[in-house]
Structure 1
């Protein structure tokens, strides 16, 4: 069986989509699974052993461009796929498999996709509360799974593969201290400071960890560089020697490898949080207005700290510097407590 998956366009969603690939491979061991997604996803897909080939989607996230999607679909006809899974809910995301004449085209019904999908599922959000459950459900025949409770347990959570040699090489390439274990911080968030734990809390935590013999490495995109610089600036000059701000200085693949080399990770609700979970790193995940009820970190080594309930559509916090009060209220002492417990449990394994 040859399968084409139209993948998501966000880091976190792409990570959770691996659960579908793992489930399909478990059900159909001989299946060949190709994933079409933005080119930046390749470093993630290349570390998913279930994925045969990552096909670049050259069109931007908001671009319709029906003519170009038709061309892409026609070019895929020679691959003779038997089945397509369309993970985004948009109309445009279902066009390529349709133009590729793939016989079975599966996905949640989404927006105006009648005809484009010939195996469209109607989503009951209460029956399928987690995004990862919605992805996995598509691996089963229509109607077979009525709710998340019907899915075989345990769910096959994302698992990225990184070998020890890669970790050593990456740490040497960035001149990290081989004598100090690494704690990774992911202090950025896609929608700005309202989803970020305050930089001064990160700095307090970093100072404590550095004084205890760790080194701290900050990860993120170029947009997170300033947030990282704020953390470093709040440390003493002696502590700064053991805190590296690599936000914007690594390719995604390098960040993945370096996160795999961390003893533990502290992260806001972000795509890199899901990467850390898939690498099975001890993880403290900090949530404010966004909710872990839909997209929690999928790892038994993850601990979520959140002081409020429900989902709050907040793009700008009302506290100083745009932070959300619920994240300000998460103290560094509380994070240290969770992190210490995770590190202790890791040593006991």
Structure 2
């Protein structure tokens, strides 16, 4: 099956710099990940305990996954994630944000949480390093949308078929895109990218910094709208 999968990937339509158009109709072997209903129920019950004190019922859950194992050249700035969370929380009192990642992401998760305004922070939950991967997958499966870097969590979200945005900087979305019709790829395709370096060799990380939180916010809304229509999203923002 993997041989056929890679053969089909090799036959995708070429993408020009800064414009990523993965022809998913040609990728017949899209990854699929299923979560048992009882695991989803456990995830809902776990989350409900978090916001029970805030008197929030039936919220829309937005997952933020700020980690990326390879290095910070693949990581959207924490201030951008915090601003995105702020936009999501301000847009609707029924919105909550959940920050997930491994124990290595605890520091950046805490930084994002601290940057969210006080009056909104009560609807944001920092779970980096506090839940298992299995639990994180279950939480993602019941989320309204996912915002992540090019990471394992990104591919998990794609396999679950959730609405998502995928932020690319130093890596190449032509090589490792989220294989899902409900994913929007945010990639600027600057002259210096993809550099495939762990740290920005130029010291500015413009490939990710210049993807603003406002762009990401609008992309999330568009991805959700397309997901609700059960149709592939429009051409990714680039």
Q: TM-score range by the shorter chain?
A: 0.7 to 0.9
Per the normalisation by structure 1, the TM-score is 0.55
Q: Deviations 1:289-337 (Å, cap 9, x if unpaired)? A: 1111111100000110111255313211257xx7622100100111111
Aligned to 1:143: none
Out of 20, 26, 36, the residue aligned to residue 2 of structure 2 is 20
Aligned to 1:287: 168
- Return the alpha-carbon distance in structure 2 between the equivalents of residues 323 and 167 of structure 1: 40
Give yes or no for the alignment of 1:163 onto 2:36: yes
Q: CA RMSD in A?
A: 2.3
Which structure shows the bigger proportion of residues in strand conformation?
1
| 8 Å contact kept, 1:219–1:246 | yes
Give yes or no for the alignment of 1:227 onto 2:108: yes
Aligned to 2:21: none
Out of 180, 186, 194, the residue aligned to residue 311 of structure 1 is 194
- Return the alpha-carbon distance in structure 1 between the equivalents of residues 26 and 117 of structure 2: 48
Q: Which has the larger radius of gyration?
A: 1
- Return the alpha-carbon distance in structure 1 between the equivalents of residues 156 and 58 of structure 2: 25
Which consecutive aligned stretches of 4+ in structure 1 deviate over 6 angstroms post-superposition?
none
Out of 189, 192, 212, the residue aligned to residue 331 of structure 1 is 212
Out of 11, 34, 39, the residue aligned to residue 148 of structure 1 is 11
Aligned to 1:204: 83
Distance 1:224 1:294, change over 3 A: same
1:205 aligned counterpart, secondary structure: helix
Out of 141, 145, 153, the residue aligned to residue 260 of structure 1 is 141
Per the normalisation by structure 2, the TM-score is 0.79
Count of aligned pairs between the two proteins: 208
| 8 Å contact kept, 2:182–2:226 | no
Aligned to 1:47: none
| 8 Å contact kept, 1:283–1:339 | yes
- Return the alpha-carbon distance in structure 2 between the equivalents of residues 187 and 323 of structure 1: 18
| 8 Å contact kept, 1:195–1:324 | no
Q: Deviations 1:168-194 (Å, cap 9, x if unpaired)? A: 211312424442110111100112321
Aligned to 2:150: 269
2:223 aligned counterpart, secondary structure: helix
Q: Deviations 1:198-227 (Å, cap 9, x if unpaired)? A: 011111110111122310111111001111
Unaligned runs of 5+ in 2: 13-24, 52-56, 231-238
Q: Deviations 1:34-56 (Å, cap 9, x if unpaired)? A: xxxxxxxxxxxxxxxxxxxxxxx
Describe how 1:89-238 pairs up with structure 2 within 5 A: 132-133=5-6, 148=11, 153-174=26-47, 175-177=49-51, 178-213=57-92, 214-238=95-119
